[in-house]
Amino acid sequence: MKRVVITGLGAITPIGNNVGEFWEAAKSGTNGVGEITKFDASGFKCRIAAEVKNFDPTAFIDKKEVKRMDQYTQYTMVAAAEAFESSGLDMKKDAWRRGVMTGSGIGGIQTFAEQHSVFMERGEGRVSPFFIPMMISNMGAAQVAIKYGLRGINYNVVSACASGTHAIGDAFRQIQYGSCDAVIAGGAEAAVTPLSLAGFCNMKALSTRNDDPATASRPFDAERDGFVMGEGAGYIVLEELEHAKARGANIICEMVGYGATDDAYHITSPIPGGEGGAKAMSLAIEDAGITPDKVDYINAHGTSTKYNDSFETSAIKSVFGEYANKVAVSSTKSMTGHLLGAAGGIEAIVCAKAISDGFIPPTINYKNPDPECDLDVVPNVGRKADVTYAMSNSLGFGGHNATIMFKKYKD
């Protein structure tokens, strides 16, 4: 099969609106969580989120078009623009061989809620004619293709919090099998809305550490009390190796493995012991053609919920055995919150940068060790490290598990 390399990165996150800002903030352990400013959340049990700050899409998108895009699509467009620019890819060549694969677990929920209010208050005649194309979750992929003229494979993955990772894995396979030369893939989410917040609050899934938002997201810590909603987008440009070399592309790293499974257990809870996640990791390791002891860094799903963190720890132990206590395992959700369907996109960027920069970002807010989560979680302070193989895990409601593997590039 074809070899696949990463040649471009683009990010919009709660701790930086481009890859450079995001990566420096992640390295230094910057907190992106605060009180919700997008709407009045005073009546909610959870009043905190990791919001994107100072976002202005008009530098990349015409103002008229901005009004016809849900914010998750705006995040997609801006992150994609950065990824393409950094890749140096000539967008006018070989359009049928270039694709787009996005992931969004929820899609245009902001548009959905706003237009439902219009319908209920003002009647069907006042609903926007752009309601449907703004709301549907494939529109991020479609808008990127329209802007850049990309005519190859194009779709959106919906697998809850595993969406972005599944999109990247699917793109990897398309290039491996020779169907495409280049695919931009990742995820976007803009679900910090009253309706989403109410739903997650009533599930009791969210942290209620409202008085101290800076420490609310604390993966693997014994006092974790739920995840913090985040938003943004992360996209990477995947390219067939010889195609990248022929145009003199800057190769950031190589993608070498992908594993996908399902727990087949429960609509929200991971299976006890993390068997499904463990199998996804094993498949990615096998796909990469290595043994577990070759993995230098795992970007964990690490949501800061009781069951997820303990079951993911169990899964890692079952796959890595005695080596589990030697591999660095950090959760950047401690800084960004949980970006839901976009999480896999930005966490793939973390893995790529960890390899290229030789640095592993920390799990911040780690104060009280949990005996059920006794891994090297890179507590509070990141570290320099020679990272040859980096793995990213994503686990979604419905039992969806996805793992992707990156490697330091050698010709």
State both tokens at 192. Answer: 């910090």
Strands 232-240 and 4-12: antiparallel
What average pLDDT does range 142-169 have in this prediction?
A: 98
Catalytic entry in 166, 201, 253, 338:
338
The candidate with the shortest Cα–Cα distance to 207, out of 67, 326, 130, 308, is 308
Paired with 396 in beta bridges are 400
Mean pLDDT of 123-143: 98
- Residue 116 pLDDT grade (very low, low, confident, very high; cuts 50, 70, 90): very high
Mean pLDDT for 117-127 is 98
Bridge partners (DSSP) listed for residue 359 = 384
Q: Which residue, among 250, 400, 375, 245, has the nearest Cα to 321 in the 3D structure?
A: 375
**pLDDT higher than 90, residue 389:** yes
Asked if pLDDT for residue 91 goes beyond 90, the answer is no
Q: How far is CA 361 from each of CA 152, 157, 229, 383, rounded to the nearest angstrom?
A: 35, 28, 20, 7
**How remote is the C-alpha of 322 from its chain's centroid?**
29
Tokens representing residue 116 in the block: 């439902």
User: Is the pLDDT score of 405 beyond 90?
Assistant: yes
Residue 230 Cα distances to 49, 111, 160, 247, 334, angstroms:
6, 18, 14, 37, 11
Angle at 227 (CA atoms; ends 300, 103), nearest 5 degrees: 65
User: From the DSSP assignment, how many helices (H) and strands (E) are in the chain?
Assistant: 13, 14
Q: What is the per-residue pLDDT for 59?
A: 87
User: Mean per-residue pLDDT for 347-356?
Assistant: 99
Segment 181-226, tens digit of pLDDT: 999 999 999 999 999 999 999 999 999 999 999 999 999 999 999 9
Taking a C-beta distance cutoff of 8 angstroms, is the pair 186, 253 a contact?
no
CA angle at residue 39 from 37 to 44, to 5 degrees? 100
Give 230-270 pLDDT, tens digit per residue: 999 999 999 999 999 999 999 999 999 999 999 999 999 99
Residue 241, pLDDT score: 98
Q: Could you give the percent of the chain with pLDDT greater than 70?
A: 100
**Residue located via tokens 């929200």:** 268
State whether residue 78 is helix, strand or coil. helix
pLDDT tier at 167 (50, 70, 90 boundaries)? Answer: very high
**Residue-level pLDDT at 92:** 81
pLDDT reading at 411 higher than 90:
no
- At residue 367, the pLDDT reads 98
**Helix axes 71-87 and 139-148, enclosed angle (nearest 10):** 40
Task: Name the catalytic one among 46, 161, 180, 253.
Answer: 161
Which CATH architecture best describes the domain 4-246? 3-Layer(aba) Sandwich (3.40)
- Residue 386 pLDDT exceeds 90: yes
Residue 266 is classified by DSSP as -
Question: How many C-beta atoms lie closer than 10 Å to residue 189's C-beta?
Answer: 33
Outline which parts of the chain fall under CATH 3.40.47.10. 4-246, 257-404
In the chain, what percentage of residues exceed pLDDT 90? 99
CA distance linking residue 36 with residue 192, whole number of Å: 8
pLDDT tens track for 295-335: 999 999 999 999 999 999 999 999 999 999 999 999 999 99
The tens digit of pLDDT for each residue in 391-402 reads: 999 999 999 999
Confirm if 274 and 401 have CB atoms less than 8 A apart: no
The confidence band for 274, taking pLDDT boundaries of 50, 70 and 90, is: very high
DSSP-assigned beta bridge partners for residue 30: none
Neighbours of 124 (CB within 10 A): 7
Mean local confidence (pLDDT), 127-138:
98
Q: Is 266 considered catalytic here?
A: no
CATH number listed for the domain at residues 257-404: 3.40.47.10
To the query of whether residue 301 is one of the catalytic residues in this protein, the response is yes
Q: What is the pLDDT of residues 35-68, one digit of tens each?
A: 999 999 999 999 999 999 999 999 899 999 999 9
Q: Which helix (H) or strand (E) holds 155?
A: strand 154-157
Give me the catalytic one of 46, 180, 253, 301: 301
Mean pLDDT in residue range 9-31: 98
